Amino acid sequence: MTQQPVFTVGNVPVFGDAILSPMAGYSDVPYRALCRAYGSAMHYTEFVPVEALLGKRVHERFRRRLDTQPGEHPMVFQIFGNNAQMLLEAALRIQEWGPDIIDINMGCATRKVSGRGAGVGMMPQPELIAETFKLLTNHLKVPVTGKIRLGWDATQENFLEIGRILEQNGAALIAMHGRTKVQKYGGEANWDAIAQLKQAVSVPVIGNGDVQTPEDIDRMKAHTGCDAVMIGRAAIGNPWIFARQQRQDLTIGEITTAVRLHAREMVNYYGEGPGLRQFRKHLKKYFDNLAHIELDRLLGTESFAEFEEILGGVETAVPEAIPLKNLQAVNV
């Protein structure tokens, strides 16, 4: 029996409702491969500034952000900028690199991006957004989408206006983080606003913000009616959330299986030393709040053979079949 898509982005089917959020410094090829293995249904690249894509030669650092693995679909390339024509030129260039979808980031709240009118800095400029999406949807062969926030601050929550502008100018999907630029990641995400956006537009809506557990995925969908849920920080060191598994119910064997898989992907992609060094930020999250695990040796090695040997020691030191929630009661 053929599986039916949960929703479609233009003509691109998406076969799931939990999606890894684009995260600078995290959403690379190895991490996306891991999250896809556990059920993430659609992937975004890290965002890339249009200026980096318009020269004669794209710097390797930025070209790599838009790298993909064979079979990695649906794949969304995300870019940002504050000039409609430059966004179009960059999108036309990267379209040749094989994305299924191109997304314009209108949600980044960092001062470096938003302060120059890009990221969420586009939201106070509805005319720029209208011009950008009209240009891109008229000239690109792939669907164009946008990721937004509520607005700049509590006095400028113009997400409904922007949502309608996006739809009217051809956007095939809108993802929204339920906070303002000023809030960044503080306070509570406004799920009511996500529900309002979903009711106001006919294109698919992805909700984002304060999804910490598998139950939160279903809670957000029920509360907002959104088509899918985007998970960012809560997925770091916790890819099981895409499989609707509670981290506390996992065993140490399930943890080390994911760690080994992720580390191998990093080494294969970046090389042994660089891959293990870049893996350290993930490793700390995998073993977060597990007092029984000695991390120093794992974090210190740049040899994959040694890494696997140390990881094997972790597996034998901790009873494999005991869920993490019960480890505190076990003398290891």
Residues 270 and 138 occupy one common structural domain: no
- Indicate which CATH number applies to the domain containing 59: 3.20.20.70
Length of the chain: 332
Residues 219 and 251 occupy one common structural domain: no
Residue 10 lies in a domain: no
Residues 194 and 267 occupy one common structural domain: no
Nearest to 201, CA basis, from 229, 231, 159: 159
Residue range(s) defining the domain that contains residue 297: 247-329
Residues 218 and 308 occupy one common structural domain: no
Residues 239 and 254 occupy one common structural domain: no
From 179, 214, 243, the end of a domain falls on 243
What pLDDT is recorded for position 332? Answer: 36
Residue 5 lies in a domain: no
Count CB-CB contacts under 10 A for residue 119.
27
What pLDDT is recorded for position 292? Answer: 65
Residues 231 and 89 occupy one common structural domain: yes
Token pair for residue 114?
């938003």
Q: Which helix (H) or strand (E) holds 144?
A: strand 144-148
Residue 202 lies in a domain: yes
Residues 204 and 94 occupy one common structural domain: yes
Residues 215 and 325 occupy one common structural domain: no
Catalytic, out of 20, 35, 101, 108: 108
Q: Which helix (H) or strand (E) holds 13?
A: strand 12-14
Q: Which helix (H) or strand (E) holds 146?
A: strand 144-148
Residue 7 lies in a domain: no
What pLDDT is recorded for position 149? Answer: 98
Per-residue CA distances from 202 to 133, 134, 296 (Å): 16, 17, 51
Residues 264 and 164 occupy one common structural domain: no
Residue 2 lies in a domain: no
- DSSP code per residue over 297-319: HHHH---HHHHHHHHHHHHHHS-
From 193, 223, 243, the end of a domain falls on 243
Residues 196 and 62 occupy one common structural domain: yes
Residue 94 lies in a domain: yes
What pLDDT is recorded for position 331? Answer: 39
Residue 9 lies in a domain: no
Helices marked H in 151-213 — which ranges? 159-168, 191-200
Residues 33 and 158 occupy one common structural domain: yes
Residues 6+ apart with CB under 8 A from 34: 239, 258, 261, 262, 265
When divided into structural domains, the chain yields a total of 2
Q: State which residues of the chain have pLDDT below 50.
A: 1, 329-332
Give the 3-state secondary structure percentages of the chain, helix then strand then coil, rounded to 5: 45, 15, 40
From 213, 243, 273, the end of a domain falls on 243
The reply to whether 108 belongs to the active site is: yes
DSSP state letter for 151? -
Residue 196 lies in a domain: yes
Residues 55 and 194 occupy one common structural domain: yes
